[in-house]
Amino acid sequence: MAHRVDWVRGSVLLILLILGAASAALTQHWLPPAALAVLACAFMMLRHLTSKAPRSFELIDCDEIIGHPQTTLERVAELERRSEIYWQAARRFEELFSGLPIACFTTDAKGTIYEWNRESEKLWGYPASEVFEQSMFDLLWPEAVAKSVRARLARVFAGRKSDPFEVELKSSRQNRSWVLSSIFPLRDPNGNVVAALCANVDITDRKKWEERLRNSESKFRCLIEHGRDVILTLELDGKITYASPSVKSVLDWEPSDLEGKNVHEYLRKSADADIETLLQNARIDAANLPPTRLAFLHQDGLYRYLECMPSLHRNELGEMVLILNARDVSDRLRMERALRASEERTRNIIDSALDAVITLDENGQIIGWNSAAHEIFGYTREETLGRKLLHLVVPAEERSGHPLDVEALFESQPDFDRVRTEIEVLRKDGERFLIELSLSQSVYGDAKFCSAFIRDVTERRNARVAIEQLARFPNENPSPTLRFSTDGKVLYANSASSPLLDTWQVSLGDPLPESFRSEIQSCFVEHKMSQMEFEAQGRVYLLDIVPVEGAGYANVYGSEITERKRAETELRIAASEIRQTKENLQRTLESITDGFFAVDKKWRITYINREARRLLDIAEDVQAGDSIQESVAYLRDTPLMRQLKLAFNSGETVRFETYFEESDSWLDVKAYPSGEGLSVYFHDVSDRKHSEQMQAAQLQQIREYSDQLEKQRHELRQANAKLEEANSRLEALATRDGLTGIFNHRAFQDHLERAATSCARSNRPLSLLMIDVDEFKKYNDAFGHPMGDEVLIGVAKILTEHAREVDIVARYGGEEFAVLLPDADETAALTVAERIRSAIEDREWPLRPVTISLGAATTCGTCANAKDLISEADKALYASKANGRNRTSHFRTIQKEAA
């Protein structure tokens, strides 16, 4: 507003001056001195109004211009000269201070501001238009320091020196800031002080740093008193004059325990030379004392390693002292040793990894190449180091924008984390194959590296299709296969399980009936497999309930046993008939008057009736199973035994009469040899000589009894044959796999439990091979189930032929087999496994090659456990399949690799 009034007042005065000068010129036709004076003042005023020059014309009174024109002209000339000086000074000010990083402004003796550079505008926040001709005391300085600044300005205009001073600013932004200000005089050519230059430097940051320094000094004192580092002050003879409190936490000594003592008392003997060297260097005032590592005695009698940073200082007496800033590095040293060992293990792991691990620099050049990379690509380490991986495995026409262009990757994504993709690359022989590529970045100092993890996934891609086909396998199984949760809900059921689900009246997701649900839950509680028979829709099923530990479900494998149950029923009927026949036969033999006994091929008694005991005087303690020649010694050399041996050796039925001296009687003997032994019928014929008629009658009776006995014996043989046949059929159904003829899953479990118990009792090793036919589902889909069955039969035959005689070969389920190897340690198990694997691989199969994957596990002594052995062998089998199939893996080997 003040500027606007000055402009109006000046404009009016300028117009009056111009009009006055023009009127004088028109009336007199010349320019008198008064007119010239008026025009000169008008010119000066015009320059003032169009610039920021001082108002020089205000020093001339208007009346004086009219009354004394000549004097006015002289004064105008003087003012013009002074104005020119000002403009020159203003231009110099602009040249000197417009680009400086110092806030500068000019002022007169009253503190009025005239010049104001850009740095001043930044510092105070006022533009030049707002501060021009304003008082710096009112605008810039706080009241508390305005008086002091005014005094300093007066000293400058008085020609005295003014010292720099620091003051807190008063700015338009209301920000707290500090400046260092200095006031300098500006003199005219005559040496007079005509103005003052105020130079100001922003020291806000310095003030902040000073505040931080004060805080840091306080913190430093706290760090010394409470820090973890030990501070020791030593005189140059080794005497400890100060120990920080942290010595208690590091070495468990009180500071007073160390102070006044020689440092040698607390060092390991081997460190004496190091501290003495350090003190010697300190005595000669060495400029640089190297860090050193010393072993200090702990309160517990052990030593702790401290990393010491020595420095020389003068104490309050001016004497040189050695200050040790020591940090406990014992744990770090142990970690470093562990880290070096870990790095060595890492290098070994990388070199033995199944995946290719390739290290590249920022240019994509190979600097690391492990053994798996050699196996996958065919190049040796020497052939690859220093070459670009992109040029090595990617054709030239495909390299643009390729994921293996690591150099371009670092340029486009300097901080990339991980890149993962599947691409096709070339082997050394030119073969294209699919890999899974994972790129990750590592930074060591200023250098960047890229690690490429590569896995050949050609087989995995092919396996995906096989897996999808394999997923349909359970549903194609003609036997019921189900899965239940721990709370008895149906999680899965194949199509063959429909009769069971219909009988239970449930579907997927529904809970089972209480009776069957409790059976499943008891399996989880007892951690063992269970079997039960279940009848559904007129068919009988044998259900094997197998809880899967840790998975939260149980698998149920069913097989229809309707025919077997029918055979068992028939067998029970036949056995009942045989028992009845035997009982009838025994009653007959006991009721006849003839003596009868039967022996086997080793002359052991299989049966003897009461009449035979009486006639041959055989005691009651002689029972079936005893040797007749040893138990009845007096029969050994009798004519009776000689005749019976002749009949036995000739295999022909004989009849003879012999005198038996022991009972003083004649015996009529008939002997019937057979493949099982010898049957002997005899009776006392001593009275025959007394009565021929009675003898004939008795003979007839004997013949009839003999015929009846032979008939019953024949029936007994038939019943025995039928019983043996039924037993064989039952055993085959119960223990043998219907397709391959080897042991089935149930029989294998029985053998495994017995073998594990025997292993634990006798402290002998026990091994197990779990075998899976590689890509069997794909084989089935390609050539049909009949050809797949032929493969299973062939595999079972090879397993039986190449296993040891004592080994148990079984079909575990589907295309899985198991071989139990008693008394076989890890080496023997791997030998048998490799013999089996090679035999199957080398066999000429009719349609295409067949291979197997094997997983081996070995247990011994009291740690033998059937469930754990199966689990370990199964994990080893999974490792063989994961590592490419057609191989053998032992659980202990993969366990060591995982560690």
* Domain boundary, last residue among 526, 560, 594: 560
Residue 821, pLDDT score: 95
Closest Cα to residue 470, out of 149, 788, 7?
788
CA angle 116, 118, 123 (to 5 degrees): 90
Report the alpha-carbon distance of residue 688 to residue 496 in Å, rounded: 76
Residue 596, pLDDT score: 86
Report the alpha-carbon distance of residue 815 to residue 463 in Å, rounded: 16
- Structural domain count, the chain: 7
**Residues 598 and 607 sit within 8 Å (Cβ to Cβ):** yes
Residue 849, pLDDT score: 93
Outline where 685-825 has alpha helix (H): 692-735, 745-762, 776-783, 785-802
CATH number assigned to the domain comprising residue 313 = 3.30.450.20
Residue 221, domain member (yes or no): no
Is the same domain home to 204 and 231?
A: no
Query: How does strand 888-890 pair with strand 852-860?
Result: parallel
Phi and psi angles of residue 175, each rounded to the nearest 5 degrees, phi first: -85, 145
**Rounded CA Rg of the chain:** 59
Averaged pLDDT, groups of 10, the chain, 899 residues long: 41 47 45 46 47 44 54 65 59 59 86 86 83 85 83 88 79 68 86 87 82 69 69 89 88 89 88 86 77 89 89 81 87 81 73 82 88 89 89 89 86 82 90 89 80 85 70 72 83 83 83 80 79 80 81 81 77 72 63 78 85 81 81 79 84 83 79 85 73 61 75 79 74 80 92 89 91 93 92 95 94 94 93 95 92 93 79 94 94 86
Closest Cα to residue 374, out of 353, 388, 391?
353
Residue 546, domain member (yes or no): yes
Residue 732, domain member (yes or no): no
CA angle 507, 513, 518 (to 5 degrees): 125
Residue 827, domain member (yes or no): yes
Residue 864, pLDDT score: 67
Q: Which domain holds residue 266?
A: 227-328
Is the same domain home to 139 and 284?
A: no
* Domain boundary, last residue among 310, 328, 346: 328
CA distances from 858 to 248, 521, 549, 756, 773 (A): 54, 31, 20, 11, 22
**Residues 629 and 603 sit within 8 Å (Cβ to Cβ):** yes
CATH number assigned to the domain comprising residue 815 = 3.30.70.270
Report the alpha-carbon distance of residue 429 to residue 426 in Å, rounded: 8
Query: How does strand 320-328 pair with strand 530-536?
Result: unpaired
Residue 169 buriedness (CB in 10 A; 0-12 / 13-18 / 19+): buried
Residue 215, domain member (yes or no): no
Is the same domain home to 497 and 540?
A: yes
Residue 58, pLDDT score: 43
3-state secondary structure of 340: helix
Is the same domain home to 181 and 80?
A: no
Is the same domain home to 854 and 741?
A: yes
Which among 119, 611, 815, 872 is annotated as catalytic? 815
CB atoms within 10 A of CB 316: 5
CA distances from 604 to 590, 614, 637, 681 (A): 20, 19, 17, 16
Report the alpha-carbon distance of residue 162 to residue 495 in Å, rounded: 107
Residue 740, pLDDT score: 92
Residue 206, pLDDT score: 81
Is the same domain home to 877 and 741?
A: yes
The secondary element (H helix, E strand) that includes residue 465 is: helix 458-471
State the distance between the two ends of the chain, measured CA to CA, in whole angstroms: 87
Is the same domain home to 292 and 402?
A: no
**DSSP E strand boundaries for 329-431:** 356-360, 366-369, 418-426
**Residues 820 and 748 sit within 8 Å (Cβ to Cβ):** yes
Is the same domain home to 358 and 319?
A: no
Is the same domain home to 505 and 625?
A: no
**Residues 855 and 873 sit within 8 Å (Cβ to Cβ):** yes
The b/e string for 669-693 (b: 16+ C-beta within 10 A; e otherwise) is: bbbbbeeebbbbbbbbbeebeeeee
Residue 623, pLDDT score: 82
Is the same domain home to 573 and 718?
A: yes
Residue 819, domain member (yes or no): yes
Residue 37, domain member (yes or no): yes
Is the same domain home to 354 and 432?
A: yes
Residue 293, domain member (yes or no): yes
Is the same domain home to 635 and 611?
A: yes
Closest Cα to residue 835, out of 802, 870, 868?
802
815 catalytic? Reply is yes
